[in-house]
Amino acid sequence: MKISKFLTSLEKIVGNFKFAITLILIFIVFLIAGTLIESLYGREFAGKLIYKSSFFFILQFLFFLSIFVATLVRLPPVKRLYGFYTLHSGLLLLLAGPFVTYFSGVDGMIALSPNTPTNVLELSEYLLEITNEQKQRFLFPLPSTVFEGKPSFNFSEHPELNALTPLTYLPFAEKKLRWQKEKNSSSALSSSLKLFSGEFLLKNPQAQQKFIVSNHPKAQEFLRPQSLGPLTLEYWGEGLHSCLQKHTQFPQEFLFIVNESTQECFRLNELETKQALTQKKTPFVVLKNQQKIYVFFPDQSPLAYNEDLTPAPESPFKILNFQEIAKSPMVLLFQEEAAFFDKKESSWKFSKYTLQQSILLPWMGLELIPLRLEKELYPKKEPSYLLPRYENGQQVTGNLKAIKFQHNKEEFWVTSEDEQWISLGEKPLKLTITPRVLLLPFALTLDEFILKKNPGTNTPASFESFVLLQDKKGKEEKAHIYMNNPLKKDGLTFYQSSYFQQQEGTYGSVLSVNRDPGRWIKYLGSILLVFGSALHFWINRKTKTFFKRHSS
């Protein structure tokens, strides 16, 4: 009795015509909003906010339930309602198709570099990946949100990770420059290290460029050399400064070892060093310091390498090649002054910084202008939330995803562009944000990429990829992919999506990959919808004609 009353109430509410019309109107509003949002902010933003939101799924389910109940109450079948049954069956299939696609479909992309086989398909879902020293990978889904918020990760199965406290998640972000002060005065900063950060303008009548340098341990990205044309600017510590002051004139011995910790410089014969050549005749220097061995390649870089030729960022030693400096224009930046080598006088020139005052350089009419000099603040590029921007079918801003964590009262960011290493006790962990991947049963290799541009412009007119497919048995198959000519393989469809340029001047290809198991359900629903509408119209027209004849 209670069940019967419940079904009757359900029929009156859900199967009601007004209820169905209300759902249709809300559904239309959501579709219009989703289309506008997708055109402005991109497919991912619209998907998370509208199409894949819980409310939209509930709305579709209620729509499905309303149609199903409306059909159910009109049983057993009546001949004059055959068109009605067919039409509503089509609507039910049209609503069921997207659910099938959502739960069992594939949506991702694959990037192909020339002559490099790959079978790694990157899906549109992103994960927090934590890797320990045993190469074990722990994967945690990111929150499905489009706005900044506090994330929550289930670390219950990995209690050692509970020391990590997630603070903020940014689903769409870009890095912005901030000048910060060291929060933790007890952090591991060398007492002998004089901190320095500065912003400079390098200009001449034809060009200008701003750049920032810093020797702060938390601003390593600003320690890299800067360049404008053939001119290189590089920050060095006070060890090199004292070295240059000692050897103002160009020395006969052109290799020096600089110790940044003690701010000293040495000739090679003053330390335990050995010079040699590689098999390719590249000169290198081996330095033995106590029990540690460092390797330098003075013609290539001032930085030290470990004995196994891996980078040694913890090394206090650098190598200075006076001969290389003399070959090309170079400005060395220190805490209080800049130095450059004057070839005419074969000596080093020093110029003290004064804010907003130009330092004239002997190349191309260039001037060096200090804009900001700091000894307490340091520059840091940190992620900042912003709404993504979508133009010409591409997302142009907001491509970065970032999570802020706290560990031992220290805050740090993990982003989709950089990996972050931390130590839990004595155990190192690597944290990254990475897309979920699917390994294909075959590999794709880009044989050739053709990019055609509109005449007289750099605007792409069309682009196409010639790829080679190879399965696990070694069977090969060639394919030509371009607009409106996708590749179909093992239920997957590969569309030509975009491209990217590599350093060598060559182009790589980006293919969007899709598998839609609900497609044929939606196709069948569309056919039934059209056929049911026509059948319903024909039966009702025939019935009306019959009654007119008999009434007359």
Residues 6+ apart with CB under 8 A from 86: 528, 531, 532, 535, 536
What's the CA gap between 121 and 437, in Å, rounded?
A: 5
Q: Binning pLDDT at 50, 70 and 90, where does residue 509 land?
A: very high
In the chain, the number of structural domains is 4
Q: Which residue reads 């990037």 in tokens?
A: 111
**201 and 265 housed in the same domain:** yes
pLDDT, tens digit (0-9, with 9 covering 90-100), for 19-44: 888 998 999 999 999 999 998 998 88
**219 and 304 housed in the same domain:** yes
Q: Which residue reads 């069948």 in tokens?
A: 524
**523 and 488 housed in the same domain:** no
**CA end-to-end distance (rounded Å), the chain:** 48
Q: Which residues of 466-484 are buried (b: 16+ CB within 10 A; e: fewer)?
A: bbbbeeeeeeeeebebeee
pLDDT, tens digit (0-9, with 9 covering 90-100), for 146-184: 999 999 998 888 888 888 999 999 999 999 999 988 766
Residue 190 lies in a domain: no
**234 and 339 housed in the same domain:** yes
**77 and 161 housed in the same domain:** no
**15 and 87 housed in the same domain:** yes
Least confident segment among 47-51, 165-169, 244-248, 412-416: 244-248
**165 and 25 housed in the same domain:** no
pLDDT, tens digit (0-9, with 9 covering 90-100), for 74-117: 888 888 888 889 999 999 999 999 889 888 899 999 999 999 99
How much is the pLDDT for 227? 77
How much is the pLDDT for 550? 54
Residue 455 lies in a domain: yes
Of 533, 540, 387, 523, the C-alpha closest to 86 is: 533
**356 and 208 housed in the same domain:** yes
Q: Binning pLDDT at 50, 70 and 90, where does residue 204 land?
A: confident
**Whole domain around residue 347: which residue ranges?**
197-375
Task: Record the pTM.
Answer: 0.75
Residue 388 lies in a domain: no
In the chain, % helix, strand, coil (3-state, to 5) comes to 25, 40, 30
pLDDT, tens digit (0-9, with 9 covering 90-100), for 233-253: 888 777 677 777 776 665 556
What's the CA gap between 285 and 277, in Å, rounded?
A: 9
**253 and 361 housed in the same domain:** yes
**75 and 201 housed in the same domain:** no
Q: Give backbone dihedrals phi and psi of 260, rounded to 5 degrees, phi first.
A: -70, -25
Task: Provide the CB-side half-sphere exposure for 88 (13 A, CA).
Answer: 20
- Residue 471 in this model has a pLDDT that exceeds 70: yes
How much is the pLDDT for 168? 96
**303 and 348 housed in the same domain:** yes
**477 and 526 housed in the same domain:** no
Q: How many CB atoms lie within 10 A of CB 146?
A: 21
Q: What is the mean pLDDT of residues 213-224?
A: 80
Report whether 482 contacts 494 (CB < 8 A).
no
Residue 532 lies in a domain: yes
How much is the pLDDT for 188? 45
Residue 383 lies in a domain: no
Residue 487 lies in a domain: yes
Residue 389 lies in a domain: no
Residue 480 lies in a domain: yes
How much is the pLDDT for 145? 93
Q: Binning pLDDT at 50, 70 and 90, where does residue 214 land?
A: confident
Question: Of 375, 402, 428, which residue constitutes the final position of a domain?
Answer: 375
Percent over 70 (pLDDT), the chain? 92
Q: Which residue reads 């940014």 in tokens?
A: 170
